[in-house]
Amino acid sequence: MAYGWTYLKSGLGLREDEFSWQGSVESDPRFFLRRSKDEPEKVTDLLFGDLSDDAVEPLLVEFLRLSGGVVGRQLTFTNIGRQDDNHDATVAKFDRVARVGKRAVELSGQLIVNSRLEQDGKHWNAVLKLG
């Protein structure tokens, strides 16, 4: 297993451990992606850092492609907020994650037919249903 970062021409850094694939960029240490190996339909971390949506989309597309592609009937971004977070902040976060996720899936050649905010214990997930 490679535990160090390998940076590609796009700027995306990749590494993996026995549980997940992870993505970063050197230009923004607050940007971070993580995808479960046990449940590849789940992106367990999507931290935008200071990057714009336009900058995040191609990084997410490349990350998904290099970590196994878009699989299954839905793509879930877990723990995008806590149940007791401010409602408006939760909706804004969901809107951004759903918008970027939808565009990344479309750029990967698939369609999103529905998106929803789903409660998971004390957290919220953004769920994108593939068509």
The pLDDT value recorded for residue 2 is: 42
**What one-character-per-residue DSSP string does 87-117 give?**
HHHHHHHHHHHHHHHHHHHHHTT--EEEEEE
pTM above 0.85, yes or no: yes
What pLDDT shows up at residue 3? 56
Q: What is the pLDDT of residues 111-122, one digit of tens each?
A: 999 999 999 999
pLDDT at 7 over 70: yes
- pLDDT attached to residue 74: 96
Tell me the per-residue pLDDT of 24-61, one tens digit each, with 9 for 90 and over.
Answer: 999 999 999 999 999 999 999 999 999 999 999 999 99
